[in-house]
Amino acid sequence: LAIPAQGFAFIPAGTDVESIRLYWDDLPIDYYEIGRIIVADALEFSEGVDARWSLAADDPGELGASKGRQWYESPMPRTRRLSVSVGIMDSVQAFGIDENGSASSSAPIPSIQDLQMHAGNTGEVVVVPRTGPGQWAYRAGVYGHLERPPTIQHLTGPHYATSLVAVEER
């Protein structure tokens, strides 16, 4: 069974953590590596993203055919492509400032503009469209880079929208 090779665990800010223990049920191998632990601010949408997020697989492999029409696979690792749409957000989520143009704190607030400038299309990102119960973050979350920096679209009044595509890295 081919399931995502990456896993995610979220620890809310302000949580006192002395140690982290990882457990796997039915691990198919005797040895497993952890690539990295990321400690960072997160851009969170309390209302969630639109119901139109989509998850696709990129398959760079090739399928060749013989003269007798037999097919031969040349497989390569498949990765995922996560498309997310945020149909409405406020100025704090879009720019990190309120509608009066002032920051609500002295520390920068994670925002789409912050994502544009820090991640661009070459920086690392973790995008999780649904954290819900069980394995949603593991199955739907993607670690990788953005296909291109997201655009902030002004709608009407204090409302903005954006969309982005995260391409999985291995």
Alpha helices, DSSP H, located in 88-135:
91-95, 112-118
Per-residue pLDDT of the chain (170 residues; tens, 9 = 90+): 566 767 676 777 777 877 776 666 666 666 666 667 777 778 887 666 666 799 999 999 999 999 999 999 999 988 999 999 998 899 999 999 988 887 766 677 889 999 999 999 999 999 988 877 777 888 888 999 999 999 999 999 999 999 999 999 87
Cα–Cα distance between 164 and 162 in angstroms, integer? 7
What stretches of the chain adopt beta strand conformation (E)? 54-58, 62-65, 71-74, 79-89, 125-127, 142-146, 153-154, 160-168
